[in-house]
Amino acid sequence: MSPDFLTIHTDRGPLRLPVGSTLADAVGLLLQAAPDAATVATAVNGEFVARSARADHALHDGDTVLCFSPITGG
């Protein structure tokens, strides 16, 4: 593994990113063609990360990133 890159785990398989990448970077790559990309919820290692915090949430080698549709209703 190159020290310039990290690998995260996603439901679409592993994703290799430059060191210093954020959750916003990963979501952009994972959902670039999805029409509902702005409405997905995200979690890193099982912890919810708000949309407003994605750009500040640094990723680390081995993190697990999930993008999912939030469940609403009652």
The whole model's pTM is what? Answer: 0.86
Domain count, the chain: 1
pLDDT band at 38 (very low <50, low <70, confident <90, very high): confident
In a domain, 47, yes or no: yes
Which structural domain range is residue 20 located in?
Answer: 5-68
In a domain, 74, yes or no: no
d(Cα 6, Cα 61) in Å, to the nearest integer?
5
- Which CATH number covers residue 21? 3.10.20.30
Identify the pLDDT of residue 39: 83
Q: What is the mean pLDDT of residues 33-56?
A: 89
Q: Can you list the alpha helix ranges (DSSP code H) found in the chain?
A: 23-30
In a domain, 29, yes or no: yes
The candidate with the shortest Cα–Cα distance to 64, out of 33, 23, 31, 29, is: 23
